[in-house]
Chains A and B, each alone.
Chain A
């Protein structure tokens, strides 16, 4: 600022402006001084103006483009919000409330369906008449893997993502071993909802598919981690149910986790239908399930207090009617038909180093089952980070076995990206012979139709 040049003039100007402040003084103020003062005022005005604009710009945004995008954003947010709430809600707008369905009579034992007593004969007759749908294909019994999840979205998006990965994992195993998959998303029986929903479903499938020899139920939170291992079905020729568990825990300790109903096999026969009928009565929701839960908590070791679940009910049934049922139930623990995840997931690197797929046991678990994680819900029994990172590791551990045929592997057990482990060649078939899990080299059978 040129205060030096203005000094002599100001000395004269100041007294006049402060004294009068009116029009009369303007004639006496020299021109140059006037201009200078005007400039000063303009400077300050411009600076103030700039400050205002910048403040406005920074906070509100004078750019018309951003305000448009904001409006569009807001509209999309509102619309998405509304739709997500609608999709998530249980209420169906067009669905008439089914009032005609009467309450379950607690005095009458719940039945899955009309009693069938000659299923073995009927099935045999059907198989004879329908030779084009045999129960054994290429020497192997026909297996149907059944799994499922609720029809609506999970409470959180990550739950659906892991359901998707779990499904891919099952598709991969079943493709390699000629097993069919049925993914259920329907509640066939309102009374038996939740973990009990598998009972009416299994019964329905046994009766509809006489060509299926074994029905294999698998929870949605169980992942295959040994892609080579095959269930040794000939071992179970005299049995009708194969379930993972420990006889000691079952009969001596009566523990509620002696068996695991997250992964088990049922032969398609009369015995299975009868067992399902005996198993179901504790299932109907409401008073029956709650009361049954109390009985189970009282009789099984370590069981917390909650409504009756299918696993505890089965254990209780097999303990109390041991003579009637146990001769046809194979309690398997020589391989992980169900492998509790917590003791397995940290050892994957060690397994990769020391062992190889095809063992199915603690050296290379057949199935890693994420009990308690409940990623489809809002809360699990374990910290979320531990659960999800373990599931990701198990998924990639299994996926590596599938990708090996194609010459790839995940960069790390937590990495979604893959890296090449074999260069492309002009004669790819030599590797197909070496690495395809279905090839005789690995000991498994040949084709499926």
Chain B
């Protein structure tokens, strides 16, 4: 026994023990690190989270926590920002998910049945005509050439992911309220997702159908995206031009029917008449919409068939281009692709020219000289990332808003100090004879708002 413990063998055994031990310990260390790296060790989190926490510890939390909320997932935000329990009156670190309750189940669609927007209606024109006759108090024309128009727009019921997205949505709806007040158009702001299958840009289809059927007194439904703003407050849509058409979109015939270009028209701002034809085209439009496999596959078809379309799931605009290009005989006659004025105006080519427009032209033109609508496609101020630089988008949206707002303010004798400024300055002094003052654009009591004088 003693011989085994002490003696030349002892050193050798010891050395062997250490050598094996080295290897064992290395293996153990390896295992621990792998596990730690992948699963995390309880409250210490994964190494990446550690890194983030260490980084935050060294930088002031005020600066970093805000942009992190902008660009990271809500979960990380909830774990990373420590709630100040004693400060519950402060709005600064509030997480909306604490109060919103997601209850109930989504309707599960039958996978065997093809998607429909609703039960097929074939006699809508007759139903509607009968209703209008029985309800003379709700005429579909409110003036000799003026149909009753409902402007429909909307946004998500949850707060924007971006810090300032909601502010721009607010400005956008104020802009629409102003235009619609001047032009006698009603506004419907939607914040409800009527059909979970048609989420995202397709959500407008079930909404439009529902509104057409629920408001027979409405002659034209005007869909407008939340990122589109009115920049010509004096321009009245030439309703007469469309008396033989049911669907008016901004676009070019050649780009759709000849080139099949995916941006040959724009579905961010369009007019749809309340009639059977519209219900039919909505039904024909919808099948590419249901999310999941259907939308993905449809996206591939569209990318293949349409010119210049990038690869992504099917969107309503491409689907409409495809529908018109392939079924021109069926639908083309009643579709008017308007390009005489900017029913939709791509912002990129307009926003830098506002000063030039103010110098050379005047409101009421609606076209490239003074666009009716400036549409901020691709900016996505409510989301996390857009296709353009954040700075350019937000600054230009401010300018477009002020450009439109100036036309409203001038009615009351004010204007923004510059197109970039929130401040306003007086352009007309107050007088003791306010009724003699006429605003330049004649928007205070415009002709298109005049009520029919009853012959008495």
Contact = CB atoms under 8 A, between A and B. Distances in A.
Contacts of B9: 11
B104 interface: yes
A113 B413 CA distance: 13
Given A3-B20, A187-B423, A14 B90 contact: no
Nearest to B146: A449
A442 interface: no
B119 A424 contact: yes
Contacts of B157: 416-417
B61 interface: no
A93 B414 contact: no
A210 B214 CA distance: 35
Nearest to A436: B214
Nearest to B33: A54
Interface string A146-157: 000101111111
Interface in B130-183: 131, 137-139, 142-143, 155-160, 162-167, 169-171, 173-174, 177-178, 181
B2 interface: no
B127 to A, nearest CB: 6
B450 interface: yes
A126 B435 contact: yes
Given A160-B166, A384-B91, A432-B214, A58 B391 contact: no
A47 B27 contact: yes
B209 to A, nearest CB: 9
B268 interface: no
B181 A175 contact: no
B358 interface: no
B164 A76 contact: no
Interface in A84-104: 84, 87, 92-95, 98
B326 interface: no
A59 B184 contact: no
Interface string B428-456: 00111111000000001100011111000
B1 interface: no
Nearest to B38: A58
B67 A57 contact: no
B29 interface: yes
A56 B41 CA distance: 18
Contacts of B171: 185
Q: Among B106, B120, B389, B391, which residue has the most Cβ atoms of chain A within 10 A?
A: B391
Contact of A55 (B33, B174, B431, B452): B33
A165 B423 CA distance: 25
Interface string B244-262: 0000000000000000000
B173 A164 contact: yes
A134 B98 CA distance: 50
B216 A429 contact: yes
A392 B445 contact: no
A91 to B, nearest CB: 10
A375 B94 CA distance: 11
A418 B422 contact: no
A93 B420 contact: yes
Interface stretch (A322-330, A350-358, A404-412): A404-412
Contact of A153 (B66, B155, B167, B433): B167
Given A93-B420, A155-B91, A426-B121, A3 B194 contact: no
B324 interface: no
A158 interface: yes
A73 interface: yes
Interface stretch (A114-122, A223-231, A304-312, A335-343): A114-122
B96 interface: yes
A195 interface: no
Interface residues of A, number: 122
B5 interface: no
Contacts of B27: 47
B340 interface: no
A347 interface: no
Contact of A44 (B12, B26, B214, B432): B26
A113 B170 CA distance: 30
User: Which one of A78, A137, A151, A187 has the highest number of Cβ atoms from chain B below 10 Å of its Cβ?
Assistant: A151
Interface string A381-425: 111110011001000000100010111100110111111100011
A128 interface: no
Nearest to A210: B435
29 contacts: A11-B12, A14-B11, A40-B19, A59-B51, A81-B63, A83-B390, A94-B417, A113-B430, A130-B445, A153-B164, A157-B159, A157-B162, A158-B94, A158-B159, A167-B170, A175-B186, A183-B173, A186-B424, A205-B412, A377-B91, A383-B88, A384-B90, A388-B96, A408-B192, A408-B194, A416-B100, A419-B104, A432-B131, A449-B452
Interface of A: 1, 3, 10-11, 14, 40, 43-44, 47-48, 50-51, 54-55, 57-59, 73, 76-84, 87, 92-95, 98, 113-116, 122-123, 126, 130-134, 137, 149, 151-161, 163-165, 167-168, 171-172, 175, 180-183, 185-188, 204-205, 207-211, 375, 377-385, 388-389, 392, 399, 403, 405-408, 411-412, 414-420, 424-429, 431-432, 436, 438, 446-447, 449
Enumerate the 3 nearest inter-chain pairs by beta-carbon distance, A residue then B residue, closest first.
A446-B137, A160-B166, A416-B157
Given A54-B30, A95-B417, A432-B214, 16 more contacts: A14-B12, A14-B15, A54-B33, A59-B50, A80-B70, A81-B67, A157-B166, A160-B164, A167-B189, A168-B191, A188-B424, A375-B91, A388-B99, A406-B211, A417-B103, A429-B131
